[in-house]
Chains A and B, each alone.
Chain A
Amino acid sequence: GAVVSQHPSRVICKSGTSVKIECRSLDFQATTMFWYRQFPKQSLMLMATSNEGSKATYEQGVEKDKFLINHASLTLSTLTVTSAHPEDSSFYICSAQTGTGVTEAFFGQGTRLTVV
């Protein structure tokens, strides 16, 4: 299957700082990538859809100024958590699909963010 690589896998940062998470499709081009958030013992909740060359589409209730998404190329999307606070601590995971239309989604390894 296709490979999606996400970095870093784990990050600890101080309150008020910003953290950038990268999501790369290694062996395919992805015009669309998705960012999810997962709290302990819960399911994945979609945060935003990242579109190459255009603005991201955010789900209701997700602050676009706090969670900045950039999809500058067909293989890279980044999520920046700005001015992080302890309540932003969570597991963040990205996915990409192998083509347009209805195709299988593959997920990165996830990033565990802890804000202290």
Chain B
Amino acid sequence: GIQVEQSPPDLILQEGANSTLRCNFSDSVNNLQWFHQNPWGQLINLFYIPSGTKQNGRLSATTVATERYSLLYISSSQTTDSGVYFCAANRGSGGSNYKLTFGKGTLLTVNP
């Protein structure tokens, strides 16, 4: 199956700083998603981005499918951005390829 690697594993920022989280995947993908896991455990959908660039407020994401990586940008970080960010992908070409494989996550801590 597909392998998903995220970096860095941990990131500590001061409020107001910008950050970039990276997700590498081992094979071509038809589905790539970024999530934020809140303190209660729920996964919040940030981006569904198998290719291209999207922006939503202070967050944006870019996936370069041909080079097998995706980046999540957080600008002007706030303490409420703290938590774990997951990248997940699948090949989506049928059968078991619809299963999402998750990276290990990036633990982001934003200090006031």
Q: Answer whether residue B104 sits at the interface, using C-beta atoms and an 8 A cutoff.
A: yes
Q: For residues 2 through 48 of chain B, which have their beta carbon under 8 Å from a beta carbon of chain A?
A: 30-31, 33, 35, 40-43, 45, 48
Q: Answer whether residue A62 sits at the interface, using C-beta atoms and an 8 A cutoff.
A: no
Q: Within 8 Å CB of A78, what residues of B?
A: none
Q: Answer whether residue A25 sits at the interface, using C-beta atoms and an 8 A cutoff.
A: no
Q: Within 8 Å CB of B100, what residues of A?
A: 34, 46, 95, 105
Q: Answer whether residue A61 sits at the interface, using C-beta atoms and an 8 A cutoff.
A: no
Interface string of A18-40 (1 = CB under 8 A from B): 00000000000000101000100
Distance between Cα atoms of A107 and B92 in the complex (Å): 18
For the complex formed, measure the closest distance between the CB of A41 and the CB atoms of chain B, giving whole angstroms: 8
Q: Within 8 Å CB of A93, what residues of B?
A: 41, 43
Say whether chain B's binding surface is mostly helix, strand, loop, or mixed: mixed
| B41 and A112 contacting across the interface, CB-CB below 8 Å | yes
Q: Within 8 Å CB of B103, what residues of A?
A: 43
For the complex formed, measure the closest distance between the CB of B100 and the CB atoms of chain A, giving whole angstroms: 6
Distance between Cα atoms of A112 and B40 in the complex (Å): 10
| A44 and B86 contacting across the interface, CB-CB below 8 Å | yes
Interface string of A51-64 (1 = CB under 8 A from B): 00000010000000
Q: Within 8 Å CB of A103, what residues of B?
A: 31
Instruction: Please name the residue on chain A nearest to B105 by beta carbon.
Output: A43
Distance between Cα atoms of A85 and B25 in the complex (Å): 36
For the complex formed, measure the closest distance between the CB of A26 and the CB atoms of chain B, giving whole angstroms: 15
Q: For residues 74 through 116 of chain A, which have their beta carbon under 8 Å from a beta carbon of chain B?
A: 91, 93, 95, 97, 101-110, 112
Q: Within 8 Å CB of B30, what residues of A?
A: 102
Task: List 10 additional A-B contacts (Cβ < 8 Å) besides A104-B33, A109-B40, A110-B41.
Answer: A38-B41, A42-B104, A49-B99, A95-B43, A95-B100, A102-B31, A102-B90, A102-B92, A104-B48, A109-B41
